[in-house]
Structure 1
Amino acid sequence: MASEQQWKIPPIVQELAADVQTPPSQYVVGEQDRPDLVGAVMSEPIPLVDLSRLSVASDDPYPDEVTKLRSALQSWGLFLAVGHGMEPSFLAETMNVTKGFFKLPMEEKQKYSNRVNGREFKLEGYGNDIVVSENQTLDWCDRFYIIVEPESQKVHSLWPMQPPTFRYICAFNLDHVDLHRNSSRTNKVSIEAWQEPWPPATRWASGLAAEAGCVLAGRGGGGEVGSRRRRGGGLTTAALGGGGELRARGGGEEVGSRRRSGGRLTTTALGGGGELWAHGGGGEAGSRRRPGGGLTTTALVLSASPLPRHVVSLTDGEEVGSNTLREFTARCREIVTLILANMAKLVGLHERYFVDMLDKEGVTYARLNYYPHCPKPDRVFGMKAHSDATVITVVLVDDTVSGLQVQGGDGVWYDVPIVPNALLVNVGDVMEIMSNGLLKSPVHRVVTNLERERLSVVMFYSMEPEKEIEPAPELVDEERPRRYRKTNTKDYIADLFETLARGARAIDRVKI
């Protein structure tokens, strides 16, 4: 039986690309579709919308920008966003972190596999999309898929520990740790810094980069150590409770700290190969010094001397830190809120209508895509034609190699142009339903490249699973009757991947 079902578990495409001269037959597009792989050039480019010029505080502050947004959404269902406030260096860092993950050794990536016991498919994790038929044409793509919002739905074990910059969980507390399990012994809490490789036993170890700016906090035995994050800098402010002492050493110099009433030490700078110590109430917190630099990778360890050392699970503590993907998620959330408010106004709804649909229980998925070079790009799709089953999607597109195509209203496929440092924003199926068809969810696909790999970081914004999806009542009347049946998010996406695998669109199931 296992051999009969082997087609359900396709190989990792990255490994195929390194070994084969001809793609396996399950990746090859039928002959009738091959001439269609070449995209046409747009007669008029997709509008660039400057988000810094959009504001819902005024009725029409920049008419030209609003006009461009309306034109883009009505013509293409997508647009290229500039003026989003993300620095080019940060976007490059986000893309580099993505590339860094896919360049990890296979055994490291397989720790986050989307196959339960190596076989059963699950949505989140690293690998391929689901295969539902032996005759299904597969995509020339590996992906890593995780929930990034809300916090309550994250699966923390799927957040990679490598590359180090992928995940910075930079704050924790030890209030839940019983430091007095053996009161006859001296107990110690220590924060220790390791250089790579990561200690194999520290699955909950967190990355901490002083030079990038992080939060460091530990409480236990009456002692408190903390550091506030500063963008682009080191550890800048600290608070020690329990009569603690703070010392920073570097190059033979001791850097002092200012004392505040109540016994707390505040505002200190840790630079070079600094050390941080807190003493009080029997607790001690410290960081090991690294020659020529600050803290790099950190694991939280509980030592109850002379008892054995224990690794403390951060899932029992508080995670309030920042990492590259986390910051990208937060920044995207800000621009999505702005865009949704403007989209609501464009179709005649209250500006909070779409924003409120993505309430605190709405789910945001991040999908990191890796498209290896392909020996037969004229026969293989990076990703087959589809539309997104979302409210809205934001994409950080590889600006070094093209590959994304969108289908126009005339049925022709067009190449989406590369605009450095721009974000691609497209309408999802759920938005098309809620707008009663005024806003269209575009059909798009990805083609492959003979010589170059391609990456993308995609943020999918979906409503809470039980929330109903239907046209806004304000957009239904005699002249424009309801065009979609009522459903809910959970039912809509229940067989999404199976529908896509068949080359169909999920939205067609709810059209009237």
Structure 2
Amino acid sequence: MAPIPASVIKVGHIDDVQELKKKKTSQIPERFIRDTTERPTLDKPISYPCNINIPVIDFSKLVEGNRDDFCKEIMKLRTCCEEWGFFQVMNHGIDLELLERIEKVAMEFFMMPLEEKQKYPMIPGTVQGYGQAFVFSEDQKLDWCNMFALGLEPHYLRNPKLWPTKPSDFSETVDIYSREIRKLCKNLLKYIAITLSLNDDVFEEMFGVAVQAVRMNYYPACPRPDLVLGLSPHSDGSALTVLQQGKGSSVGLQILKHNTWIPVQPIPNALVVNIGDTIEVLTNGRYKSVEHRAVTHKEKDRLSIVTFYAPSYEIELGPIQELVDDNNPCKYRRYNHGEYSKHYVTNKLQGKKTLEFAKIKN
């Protein structure tokens, strides 16, 4: 993971939301209470003119379907990328027992005593470990969320001191799970390349040894979900993000479409995939990353397991030449991906503001 300045603010014990929940108080600390313009309007029904469920891709039809099924699913994938930037993937080929195991070890980790979890602190200068990321000032509002993040690939990103010894099968499960998600990302990028009429290996050849990280998010129930956010609005700096929503969790993920926050209803055993800033740049804005956030629930906790998949930090990126023409002139400059990653983690989450780094100024 790219380094961040030593001036980053370390979140204290008093800001651990699981510890706050244990106090069983209805009082929300000021540090979590959002300005009125940022608060989620959870009591208002969503007014949206069409089906508000994000689209679903049947991955098995891409991998082993007949020609007609394959073509239909590719067209659907193109629509997902062009119009939504988000989609759910069913029949993804990952063992459902493995999905249960990763949720189990994640929950076991979050349920450990605070003192145990604090053996793996999110140290200033990184976005790995336990705590809250993207916090840079004492007056910055905090998310109602505890995070545990780890760098996975390339291997040099791993900090062995941050890999917990409890639960005993944590490391093995994360490794097996991450290998499966990595295969899924590689395959999805092949099919996304096909939707753009590009060679199916264009992204894999360009990315080098892809960077991969995992972040587990735990959102305890909140007595006043109308005052807080589980996770601030942002787009992802990755190429692809794969999110597993914990079984039995509250609906918390929301995406911004036509200035309306739309909840993503979990489909059992499906994975949520979204386009990151990197794909927006590479496609010259044809496929856009989408702003999203998490909200909390008054009675239900929520767990999510998020994998970020991105090019090697050494790679120079810019719009793919075939996707730049007179009708779609170049919108983004060329840059080093490591520099962008560093820029991303040294700024707090503010919608799509970090992508300004790459935009060509008019």
In the superposition, the TM-score normalised over structure 1's length comes to: 0.64
**Contact preservation (8 Å) 2:40, 2:295:** no
Q: 1:100 aligns with which of 81, 101, 108?
A: 108
Matched, 1:129 2:133: yes
The equivalent residue for 1:366 is 214
Equivalent position to 2:97, from 71, 89, 107: 89
What is residue 73 of structure 2 aligned with on the other side? 65
Of 415, 422, 426, which aligns to 2:274? 426
Equivalent in the alignment of 2:148: 144
Instruction: Tell me, in whole angstroms, the C-alpha distance in 2 between the residues paired with 1:136 and 1:152.
Output: 32
Within the candidate set 80, 85, 90, 1:77 is matched to 85
1:274-353 alignment, distance < 5 Å: 323-353=172-202
CA separation of 1:505 and 1:35: change in aligned 2, threshold 3 A = same
CA separation of 1:138 and 1:327: change in aligned 2, threshold 3 A: same
Q: Spell out the pairing of 1:78-477 with structure 2 (5 A cutoff).
A: 78-115=86-123, 120-167=124-171, 323-360=172-209, 362-400=210-248, 401-408=250-257, 410-477=258-325
- Give yes or no for contact 2:75–2:195 (8 Å, CA) kept in 1: no
Say which of 477, 495, 499 aligns to 2:347: 499
> Structure 2: which 5+ runs fail to align?
1-6
Give the C-alpha shift of residue 389 in structure 1.
Answer: 0.2
Letter in 1 for 2:183: E
Q: Distance in 2 between matches of 1:16 and 1:392?
A: 33
Is 1:485 the equivalent of 2:321?
A: no
What SS is found at the alignment partner of 1:407?
strand
Secondary structure in structure 1 of the residue aligned to 2:34: coil
User: Partners in 1 of 2:223 and 2:9 — Cα distance?
Assistant: 22
Alignment partners' CA distance in 2, 1:127 and 1:49: 34
Greater Cα radius of gyration, structure 1 or 2:
1
Distance 2:8 2:264 in 1: 36
The secondary structure found in structure 2 opposite 1:135 is: coil
Distance 1:327 1:17 in 2: 32
Deviations 1:445-482 (A, max 9, x none): 00001111111111001211121121001111122110
Deviation at 1:433, TM superposition (A): 0.2
Give the paired residue count.
Answer: 347
- Deviant stretches of 4+, over 6 Å: 56-60
Ranges in structure 1 where 5+ consecutive residues have no aligned partner: 168-322
Change (3 A) 1:91 1:35: closer
Structure with more relative contact order (C-alpha pairs < 8 Å, separation 6 or more): 2
What is the CA-CA distance between 1:425 and the residue it aligns to? 0.6
Report which stretch shifted further, 47-56 or 328-337. 47-56
Separation in 1, partners of 2:75, 2:269: 22
RMSD: 2.2
Which whole-Å CA distance do the structure 2 matches of 1:495 and 1:475 have between them? 25
Could you tell me which residue of structure 2 aligns to residue 283 of structure 1?
A: none
As a proportion of its length, which structure holds more strand? 1
- Name the structure 1 match of 2:3: none
Which residue of structure 2 lines up, in the alignment, with residue 9 of structure 1? Answer: 11
- Residue-by-residue CA offset, 1:108-134 (whole Å, 9 max, x unaligned): 11111113xxxx352111111132223
**Residue aligning to 1:40:** 46
TM-score by length of 2: 0.90
Larger fraction in helix? 2
In structure 2, relative to structure 1, the CA distance for the partners of 1:427 and 1:7 (3 Å cut) is closer
- Counterparts of 1:471 and 1:58, CA distance in 2: 33
Identity rate of aligned residues, in percent? Answer: 35
Question: Is 2:17–2:146's contact at 8 Å kept on the other side of the alignment?
Answer: yes
- Is the 1:56–1:341 Cα contact (8 Å) retained in structure 2? no
